[in-house]
């Protein structure tokens, strides 16, 4: 099992899709990295040699991925909260940030429905 950027890649997947398991690496970046290293996108992860894994790791160091990217995103959100922008306030309240409606839907951000003043059930 190949380990790149602290992530174990699934053995039986093609390398072009296995690289997308790394946070910050999408399909386009995976193809770009593979073409830069000269590795065929059709290769499976278990077919990679140690040199291939080393070249992929070296090429991915040029991009912001995994921990550094997570830290940058968290700092951006914290900055929005600190300056009290509309987006920051909505992050703090746990509401949708990008203009979605909240009268209905938005259950992913708001969580389970909270009933207020419901009558207690009697046996």
Q: Which domains does the chain have, with CATH numbers?
A: 3-62 (1.10.8.50), 67-110 (4.10.910.10)
Between CA 62 and CA 50 the distance in angstroms is: 19
> Cα-flanking dihedrals φ and ψ of residue 102, to 5°?
-125, -5
Model pLDDT, residue 119:
75
Paired tokens of 27: 């399909």
Per cent of the chain over pLDDT 70 is 99
What pLDDT digit, counting tens, does each position of 8-63 carry?
999 999 999 999 999 999 999 999 999 999 999 999 999 999 999 999 999 999 99
Between CA 104 and CA 37 the distance in angstroms is: 48
Half-sphere exposure of 91 (CA within 13 A, CB side): 16
Mean of the pLDDT values across residues 74-101? 95
């Amino acid at each position: 099992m190949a380990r790149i950027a602290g992530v174990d890649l699934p053995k039986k997947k093609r390398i072009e899709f296995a690289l997308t398991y790394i946070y910050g690496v999408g399909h386009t970046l995976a193809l770009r990295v593979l073409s830069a290293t000269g590795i065929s996108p059709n290769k499976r992860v278990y077919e990679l040699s140690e040199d291939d894994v080393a070249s992929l790791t070296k090429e991915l160091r040029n991009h912001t991925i995994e921990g550094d990217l997570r830290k940058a995103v968290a700092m951006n959100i914290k900055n929005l909260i600190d300056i009290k922008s509309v987006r920051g306030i909505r992050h703090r309240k746990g509401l949708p940030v990008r203009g979605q409606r909240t009268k209905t839907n938005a259950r992913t951000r708001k969580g389970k429905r909270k009933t207020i003043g419901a009558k207690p059930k009697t046996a």
